[in-house]
Each structure stands twice: as structure tokens, then as C-alpha cells.
Chain A
């Protein structure tokens, strides 16, 4: 077991990881994910798909909120813009899906330039609420631009065919999401270790100090918005394809909140945390359902109509308890476990 990091060259310092076991476990995880679609049934597989799509979106939010410290309550606005960009380009104008995905990234990125502008002046919760306002305004724009978006009618979306491979089946679609998730993960990990990523973190920790050190706040804050919106837009396209029907209804405000909850539960500012948080939050309702099924007969008799609400209440309780006892998130928990493992029986 390693106890310390001894880094001697710059190359080692910026390497993704210098640990062979990390590479090994990652490879095993990827292999497991590649095999999974062939053995899971459609229901279990749908969880995997949702997790992968959510990971993409949450990693996008993580760049803005986790790295740069700009809280966004309106990220669902980028999600819905991405989904519509894809749907309009592919379903309406019969463009190839690859163009659709590109548009799903670029169009929200352009929109984020407008949304990001106030961030140059606003801070903290004021900025959060401005982004919230933008997500409502984006919905109104989509509903009003009937000629392009079909308004409230929505657009039906088919599973795509890329490079001659059809992603029609559930398993194939999961692979597509897996591909995007892995790509996004590498992209964000690399951004974090680059000059740009370090600038983001400097802005998060203290923006005035960052400016003193020569970081152009305007450029980097907007860059954070653009990158974040690009990735979230791609997630929106995937989500739209998963729903097979894109409408404003399918992207409720709740998704913004859920994405933030995932970041907090996972551990703010960590890509690993974003992944762990996603798995936790997506599977939580299923876990509460399992707990309930243990007592299902008594429960059903007790509160015939209220049992379902009790489940959602339990969801809230778990989130509160989690934040109460592990406010650094799952990543914090993971570090604690690792440290205990290394130092045991000593405490430090």
C-alpha cells in the first residue's frame, strides 16, 4: 500500500494518475460496463442508461459549479436547448445525427454566452437565481418559436445511426451513452489539470485574488459557461433520444435541483464525486422502493394511498441525513475510508 506521493517530474505531476491499480480497476469497470448491456434486463439496463446520461450532464455542471464556483440553478435550460437542437436538426431537417450532436453542443454553448454575461457582475445566490430566470425564459422562447420548435407540440426523436452503426436497440444505445460518458469524463479530468482548469479553480477560491494573478475573469468565466453548456447540451440530446420525445414538459425545473443535489452528495468539484453522486441519487428511489417492498403488505394496508408519498419523503430524509453526516459528499467518505485503511490501527 502506498502511503505518500513522490513526484519528481512535471510530467508525473500532471499525469491523469500514476497509480497502476487505478488504471486496472478502471479497465475492469469499463469491461464490466461493456458486458452489462448483454446480461441485464431492459429495466435494469434503463438505470445504467440514465446513470450514464446523467453523468454527462452533471460533469458539465461540475465544470461551472464545482470547478469555477458559479452556482447555476438553471442548467436544465441548457439541457432542454441541447435536446431541441438535436431534435430540430435531426428529426425536422433530416440532418445526420452527428450534426445533431454537434448542434446540441454548440447551440447551448452560444446561448450560454448570453446567460454567462450577468456572471461577470453577479455573485453567489444572485447569480444562481439569474440562471434560474434564464431557464424559464428559454422555455418561453422555445414555446413561442413555433415555426422551428413545433411549440408545445414537441418533436418525436428516433434512436440515431452513427457511422453506419444503428443505436436502435437498448444495448446499443447504452453503448452510445457509455461512449459519451467516458469521453466527457476524460475531457473534464483533462480540463481540470490544464492551465484553464487551474484558472477556474483559482476563480472559485477567490476571484479577486485570481484577477490579481493575471487571470482574465471575463474570459475564463465565460469559458466555464461555454464548456459547461456544451457538455450539458450533449447530455440533453441523449436524454431527448432516451425519452424518444422532446418537449418542454419533459425537462422540469426539478432536474436542475437534482443535478446540484448530485454534485453536493458526490462531493463538489470532483469528477469522481459527480459519478458517485449520480449513481447514488439515481438508484436512491429504487433503494427506497426495495426497503418498502420488505414491509409492503403491512405498509399498503396502513396507508393505502399515502404509501407512495412516504417513499418520496424518505428520499428527502436520506438527502438530509447524508448532508448532515457527510457534508463533504461521497468523495469525502471515500477518502476517509482510504485513510483509515492505510493508517489503521492509528488514527492519523
Chain B
């Protein structure tokens, strides 16, 4: 029993990180219809910026958090304005490839600006271990699960009640009609990129606190793919939940079937789920007309 509980807790902790990145994917897909292949890279860049800030201000968690959020917003806005906006109206496929080009640039910038050594993001928080009945969890892992849940609630409320949230939903549903209703699509896109960058950045910072900071961190993006597919590419909240499901599945597979199964468990799961629901668990079915 203790074994199972420990597996579930660890699964939730890593799943929360996948879930955050997956929400970043879904936010962009929902408002722009694109899959951002540079999501993992953006996660990594924000984490590195947070590390740079932490080394210069002696790891004060508040300054690091505020600095990282500002940096993430700036990164999202710059990417949207400089790289993505000019591609408006071009074929979706070409635009998706642009994000792959962006991923190459961001990935290389790590070794260019920083270096290839693993680093330690220490903001004096998240390293402590809580123990209860032989089960251990780090405070940082509790914090990331809590952050994910809080964000899920906040985003639900945002889309449901705020004017801008409704505008984003309108653009996602039908951008031309939304335009006619006086909603600025570019502004909605910019907001989506900035928000996606912040959410991914939060995941990156938590990952760096619990594990390490290295130029291989971009692979997290690939790991979060199954989460967002499972939840539904256009379901922001569903993707967050999808992350938790993938995290738990991976750990249960690793714990009971052996470590070889761990990394493919998530992928096997999405194949099975997609065969039943081809648009993800929480995704919306497209109605096609000829």
C-alpha cells in the first residue's frame, strides 16, 4: 500500500509538470490553431533566466518569481510579434514548421548564453522533504501540484467570466466572426503566447528546483505531448488533467511492469484513448462539411 501511495504521489508531482506544459500547448492551439513545437524550449529558457536571476540576487524566491514571470511574458510577446505574427494567413503546416525553426534557435541559445553543465536552481525553497508514514515528498513537488490546481481553477474562471477570456474563446471558435464583432485577433494571439510562455516557465522552474537545469530540458516538451493529446489539443483544462493522468500511468507502469515500460507507457495510453475518442478525452469533436 505504501508502495502504491508513493508511486501515486510521485506520479502526480511529475504529472503536474507535464500538465503545466500541456496547458501551454493547448492555450496556443485553442487561440491560434497551431501546435507550438518550441514549448519545451520556452520552458527551458525561462528556467535558465530564473537561474540567472537567482544567482545574482542570492536566491530570493520573490524576486526570482517576479523576474521569471516578466521574462516569460516578454519571451511570449516577442516570439508572437517577431516570429508568429508575420505568418498570419499562411498555411498552418508552414506556420507549425516555423515553431520548429524557433525551437532550434532557442535550444542553441542555451549553450550560447549559458553552458552545457548541469546547474542547480536554488531559491531556498522546495528542497525540504516531508515524511509521513514512510512516504516522502519534497515541498517543491507539493507546490507544483498546488500550482497546477490553482491555475486550473483560475483559467476556468477566466474563460468563463472575464471579457477577454470570452473573446479568446470567440477567436478560437471562429476568428472571422470574432473579428466582425470587434475582437482583435492579434491581441488575443499575443495574450495566448504570453500566457502559454508563463505557464510553461512555471513548469520549467519547478522542474529545475526538483531535478536540475541542463540543456536537455527541452525534452520535457516531447514528454508533455501525450498529456495534451490525451486531454484534447483544444482543451486547456483537459490538458492539465491529462498531464496528471500521464504522470500516474508512467509511474504505475514503471513501478509494476518494470522501468523499460515507463517511458512508452504514456504513448501507449494515448493510442488506446485516441482509438476510442479521436479528439482527446476533453477535446471537442470537429463537425466537417464538404
B104, CB-defined interface residue at 8 Å: yes
**Is the beta-carbon distance between A257 and B100 smaller than 8 angstroms?**
yes
5 example contacts (A-B, Cβ-Cβ < 8 A) are as follows A130-B271, A133-B226, A133-B268, A261-B97, A313-B109
B42, CB-defined interface residue at 8 Å: no
- 13 other contacts beyond A261-B100, A323-B94, with CB at 8 A cut-off? A118-B275, A122-B278, A126-B229, A129-B226, A129-B229, A136-B267, A140-B260, A208-B288, A208-B290, A309-B109, A310-B112, A319-B100, A320-B98
What is the size category of the interface that chain B forms with chain A? Answer: 35 or more
Q: Interface digits, B249-269 against A, CB 8 Å rule (1 contact, 0 not)?
A: 000000000001001100110
What's the least CB distance linking B240 to chain A, in Å?
18
A264, CB-defined interface residue at 8 Å: yes
What's the least CB distance linking B55 to chain A, in Å?
19
**Is the beta-carbon distance between B225 and A132 smaller than 8 angstroms?**
yes
A303, CB-defined interface residue at 8 Å: yes
A44, CB-defined interface residue at 8 Å: no
Given A209-B290, A313-B104; A125-B267 close (CB under 8 Å): no
A153, CB-defined interface residue at 8 Å: no
Q: Residue of B at shortest CB range from A123?
A: B278
**Is the beta-carbon distance between A121 and B288 smaller than 8 angstroms?**
no
Query: In the complex, which residues of chain A have a beta carbon less than 8 angstroms from the beta carbon of B263?
Result: 136, 140
A133: contacting residue among B37, B83, B109, B271, CB under 8 A: B271
Query: In the complex, which residues of chain A have a beta carbon less than 8 angstroms from the beta carbon of B290?
Result: 206, 208-209, 212
Given A260-B97, A303-B112; A126-B260 close (CB under 8 Å): no
Given A137-B267, A317-B105, A324-B87; A121-B94 close (CB under 8 Å): no
**Is the beta-carbon distance between B108 and A323 smaller than 8 angstroms?**
no
What's the least CB distance linking B115 to chain A, in Å?
8
B279, CB-defined interface residue at 8 Å: yes
B162, CB-defined interface residue at 8 Å: no
Q: Interface digits, B106-131 against A, CB 8 Å rule (1 contact, 0 not)?
A: 01110111010000000000000000
Identify which of residues 142-167 in chain A touch chain B, using a CB-to-CB cut-off of 8 Å: 143-144
Q: Interface digits, B41-53 against A, CB 8 Å rule (1 contact, 0 not)?
A: 0000000000000
Query: In the complex, which residues of chain A have a beta carbon less than 8 angstroms from the beta carbon of B111?
Result: 305-306, 308-309
Query: In the complex, which residues of chain A have a beta carbon less than 8 angstroms from the beta carbon of B268?
Result: 133, 137
B91, CB-defined interface residue at 8 Å: yes
Alpha-carbon separation in the docked complex, A305 to B112 (Å): 8
B102, CB-defined interface residue at 8 Å: yes
- How many interface residues does A have (CB within 8 Å)? 43
Pairs A-B, 4 closest by C-beta atoms: A316-B104, A133-B267, A319-B101, A316-B105
Q: Which residues of A contact B (CB under 8 A)?
A: 71, 118, 121-123, 125-126, 129-130, 132-134, 136-137, 140, 143-144, 206, 208-209, 212, 253, 257, 260-261, 264, 268, 303, 305-306, 308-310, 312-313, 315-317, 319-320, 323-324, 327
**Is the beta-carbon distance between A312 and B275 smaller than 8 angstroms?**
no
Query: In the complex, which residues of chain B have a beta carbon less than 8 angstroms from the beta carbon of A316?
Result: 101-105, 108
What's the least CB distance linking A314 to chain B, in Å?
9
**Is the beta-carbon distance between A313 and B86 smaller than 8 angstroms?**
no
What's the least CB distance linking A333 to chain B, in Å?
14
Q: Interface digits, B188-210 against A, CB 8 Å rule (1 contact, 0 not)?
A: 00000000000000000000000
Query: In the complex, which residues of chain B have a beta carbon less than 8 angstroms from the beta carbon of A253?
Result: 222
Alpha-carbon separation in the docked complex, A144 to B259 (Å): 12
B90, CB-defined interface residue at 8 Å: yes
B93, CB-defined interface residue at 8 Å: yes
Alpha-carbon separation in the docked complex, A257 to B87 (Å): 20
Query: In the complex, which residues of chain A have a beta carbon less than 8 angstroms from the beta carbon of B280?
Result: 126
Alpha-carbon separation in the docked complex, A276 to B233 (Å): 33
A126: contacting residue among B90, B113, B274, CB under 8 A: B274
Query: In the complex, which residues of chain A have a beta carbon less than 8 angstroms from the beta carbon of B93?
Result: 71, 264, 268
Q: Interface digits, B74-97 against A, CB 8 Å rule (1 contact, 0 not)?
A: 000000000100110011011101
**Is the beta-carbon distance between A130 and B270 smaller than 8 angstroms?**
yes
What's the least CB distance linking B84 to chain A, in Å?
10
What's the least CB distance linking A10 to chain B, in Å?
28
Alpha-carbon separation in the docked complex, A95 to B109 (Å): 47
Query: In the complex, which residues of chain B have a beta carbon less than 8 angstroms from the beta carbon of A123?
Result: 278, 286
**Is the beta-carbon distance between B101 and A317 smaller than 8 angstroms?**
yes
Best-buried of A126, A137, A206, A305 by chain B (most CB within 10 Å): A126
Query: In the complex, which residues of chain B have a beta carbon less than 8 angstroms from the beta carbon of A212?
Result: 290
**Is the beta-carbon distance between B104 and A312 smaller than 8 angstroms?**
yes
**Is the beta-carbon distance between A264 and B94 smaller than 8 angstroms?**
yes
Q: Residue of B at shortest CB range from A122?
A: B278
What's the least CB distance linking B216 to chain A, in Å?
13
B13, CB-defined interface residue at 8 Å: no
